[in-house]
Amino acid sequence: MATKQHNRRDFIKKSLRVGFGAASSLVLAKTPLLFAQETVPGVPDLVAVKNNEPDVLFDKAMSLMGGMSRFVKKGQTVVVKPNIGFAKAPEMGATTNPLLVKSVVEHCISAGAKKVYVFDNVAASSYGVAHTCYKKSGIEDAAKDRGAIVAPGDHEKYYQKVDVPGAKNLVSTAVHELILEADVFINVPVLKNHRYTQFTCAMKNLMGVVWDRMEYHYTDLEQSIAEFCLFKKPDLNIVDAYRVMLRHGPQGNGPEDLVLMKTLLVAPDILAIDTAAAKIFGLEPESIRYLQIGHDLGLGTTKLADLNIKKFTYT
């Protein structure tokens, strides 16, 4: 009886929110922020799927999400930002699964994207490392295979200085021109342990779109990670939790650090997806400093209970 009541209350809450959302989107048409934040009937805020191969999971997640055409319109340019941070094979779980990147590119192209770019500014800034990372992670080949343009991120000339509105720490930073120019920004992080920020996922992955990540480290790492989202948030976040590195992150010591979770999360809200990822990872979202800062900056929601979450588990 109690549960029924709870469900009903939830239903009313949701209906009210949907109604408000619909009304406000009529009033404030063309406000992309509302589109991303508010719930549209039948379309979930967050999709979580598990127990299959990365590409199968992504197909399922996108069909639950309402298709890639919700995010990518015909003729638009898309930039896909996976984690290609280290020169490690896909089996080491230090980089985004190439099969997932391949699938994301495929979805973008079939949604009518004019161009799909893939790039990352890798973790080590020594000359020549980026090339090795692109190759060894398998992402360059996977993305090119589906028609993406794999762009370089290893030279300062590709970055432009921007101001971050409302930031007290990361007041300005140099951002990759593709992030500034592309119509759609898709963030495809890998979920893994990071010994200095507890875990790395969607928000932390955005450190790879700026030129000088060391200014994050030098000033205040977690504050900067959160504040970058004041400048730009991805239109869609896709979390690869297929092979999850549980310790020795972000590089990992070997396959014994990994656990096969075979999970995928998709959400437009970067804070919500990081909260969900933290929970999957076995962490309390309240204990992660940059999620709390993100919450205080109003980047999204950390209250998963308020969201329309669709889950699917293959058996």
Partner 1 sequence: MRGRCNYRKTRIGVSIPLFLLFFVLFLGEKDFTRILSQTLLLSQFVPSLLRFFSDPGHILSLGLVVILLITFIGGRIYCSFLCPLGMLQDLISWISGKVRVKKRYGYRKSYQRIHLTILFCTFMMAALGYLTLLNLLDPYGLFGRISAHLFKFVLVVANNMAVSVLEIFDIFNLSIKRQHHVSTSILLLTAGSFGCLLVFSLRAGRLYCNSICPVGAVLGLVSRFSLYKIRIDKSSCTSCNLCEKMCKAGCIKSNEGDVDNTRCLACFDCLAICRSSSIGYKFRLFECYAGASPSLQRRKFLGSMATFFYTLTADPLALASTQESDLSNRGPITPPGSFGLQHFTSRCSGCHLCVSSCPTHALVPTLWKYGLSGLLQPEMDYRRGHCEISCTTCSSVCPTGAILPVTRNEKKLIQIGVVALNKELCVVHVKKKHCGACGEACPTNAIFPVEKGRVLFPDINNSYCIGCGGCEQACPTFPKSIKVTANSVHLKAEVYVPPELPVLDMDVKSDFPF
Q: How far is the CB of 299 from partner 1 (least distance, A)?
A: 18
Cβ nearer to partner 1, comparing 104 with 267: 267
Rounded CA separation 301/304 (Å): 7
- Distance of closest approach, residue 204 Cβ to partner 1, in angstroms: 11
Q: Which is nearer to partner 1, 25 or 132 (CB)?
A: 132
- The least distance separating partner 1 from the CB of residue 40, rounded to whole angstroms, comes to 21
Which residue lies nearer to partner 1 by CB, 13 or 155? 155
Classify the C-alpha dihedral 246-48-180-141 as positive or negative: positive
The counts of H helices and E strands in the chain are 12, 12
Q: Which is nearer to partner 1, 23 or 135 (CB)?
A: 135
Of 19 and 279, which CB lies nearer to partner 1 in the complex structure? 279
Q: What is the Cα 104 distance to its own chain's centre?
A: 12
Residue placing its CB nearer to partner 1 in the complex, 165 or 282: 282
**Residue 218 Cβ vs partner 1, minimum distance, rounded to whole Å:** 4
Tokens 């070997």 identify what position?
A: 254
Between CA 260 and CA 277 the distance in angstroms is 15
Q: Least distance from C-beta 32 to partner 1, angstroms?
A: 26
281 token code pair: 């990872």
| C-alpha to C-alpha distance for 268 and 257, rounded to whole angstroms | 29
The minimum distance between CB 178 and partner 1, in angstroms, equals 11
C-beta closer to partner 1: residue 51 or 110: 51
Residue reference for tokens 């928000």: 203
* Cα torsion through 247, 55, 45, 175, rounded to 10: 70
**In terms of CB distance, is 150 or 188 closer to partner 1?**
150
CB atoms within 10 A of CB 245: 26
Rounded to the nearest whole angstrom, what is the least distance from the CB of residue 203 to partner 1 in the complex? 14
- DSSP 8-state symbol, 166: T
CB 84 within 8 A of CB 248: no
Find where tokens 């120019």 sit.
181
- The position carrying tokens 């549960």 is 3
What is each CA distance from 87 to 36, 135, 231, 247, in whole angstroms?
34, 8, 29, 18
With CA atoms as reference, report the closest residue to 241 among 266, 263, 271: 263
In the complex, the smallest distance separating the C-beta of residue 217 from partner 1, rounded to whole angstroms, is 4
> Please, what is the minimum distance in Å from the beta carbon of residue 260 to partner 1?
7
Alpha-carbon distances, residue 92 vs 105, 137, 205, 254, 292 (angstroms): 22, 9, 17, 6, 30
* Closest CB to partner 1 among residues 36, 87: 87
Residues in contact with partner 1 by the rule CB under 8 A: 48, 50-51, 87, 115, 123-129, 131-132, 149-152, 154-155, 157, 194-197, 214-215, 217-222, 246-248, 250-251, 253-254, 256-257, 259-262, 276, 279-280, 282, 289, 304, 309, 311, 313, 315
